Copies of this chain bind each other. A is one copy, B any other.
Amino acid sequence: MTKYTNQDRFLIAVDCIIFGFDGEHLKLLLIKRGFEPEKDKWSLMGGFVGPQESLDNAANRVLTQLTGLEGVYLEQIQAYGDPLRDPIERTFSVTYFALIDINKYKMQITDQYHAEWFLLKDAPKLIFDHGAMVENAKKKIRYKAALHPILFELLPKKFTIPQLQNLYEDVYNTSIDNRNFIRKLTSTGLLIKLPEKDKSASKKGAFYFKLDKKKYVANFQAFLNFIPNPDKLISG
């Protein structure tokens, strides 16, 4: 009794939908695929799962390979298993989304992967079912961020209110009343105001804030409602 008999075995990959924010727009990190089929076409960063790796391990490895970053926020989205999704050989893929601060991404432009940041709307056509994976990831991040404070993962440790509001506005492609936004934010108690200001983006400068880690963890699972009328915005 060492193996299951008469069963087929398949390749298993992970693919990462890597979201980044630069203070203004939400972006997507894509690579030019390095091998056949579809060599040099735009693709999600992915990789086959190795024999000793868990799915989470594989996703983290793939992400670190591309970005040099560790400890990034990573969450499993969904498994894809259409028999024909990869024309060469049947391959299952488990998708993850990653949230990173673009300014942390300083990968050497040795650039084994020819990675590039794209605005969500300007993203090129992707190989296989990667386009559908990205659409799904966008829905997921919107859904989750309407209820949980995950978007902070896209910001540096110190961030300003205008940055945060830009982020929410970009994710939901909407405009938010600044006074209501601040009121809702402060009511969460999640933010700690710092004495310093960011003067790069405006004349007056905007105060930096940081997350109250304890409250962040405590409130993470709570149902919040950061976004007015998310039901009108979300369609998946």
Contact = CB atoms under 8 A, between A and B. Distances in A.
Interface in A45-98: 48-55, 58, 76, 78-83, 88-92, 94
Interface string A92-117: 10100000000000000000000000
A1 B4 CA distance: 29
A83 B37 CA distance: 28
B50 A8 contact: yes
Nearest to A232: B222
B2 A53 contact: no
Interface string A5-28: 001111110000000000000000
A95 to B, nearest CB: 9
A36 interface: yes
B2 A223 contact: no
B1 A88 contact: yes
The DSSP consensus for interface residues of chain A is: loop
B7 A83 contact: no
Contact of A9 (B9, B230, B231): B9
A224 to B, nearest CB: 8
Given A9-B10, A10-B10, A236-B221, A4 B81 contact: no
A231 B223 contact: yes
A222 B48 CA distance: 36
B236 A231 contact: no
Nearest to A81: B55
B223 A235 contact: no
A155 interface: no
Nearest to A6: B48
Interface of A: 1-4, 7-12, 36-37, 48-55, 58, 76, 78-83, 88-92, 94, 146, 221-223, 230-231, 234-236
26 contacts: A1-B37, A2-B88, A3-B88, A3-B89, A4-B48, A4-B88, A4-B91, A7-B48, A8-B11, A8-B50, A9-B10, A10-B12, A10-B49, A49-B81, A51-B83, A51-B90, A54-B82, A58-B81, A76-B78, A76-B79, A79-B79, A92-B92, A222-B231, A223-B230, A223-B231, A223-B234
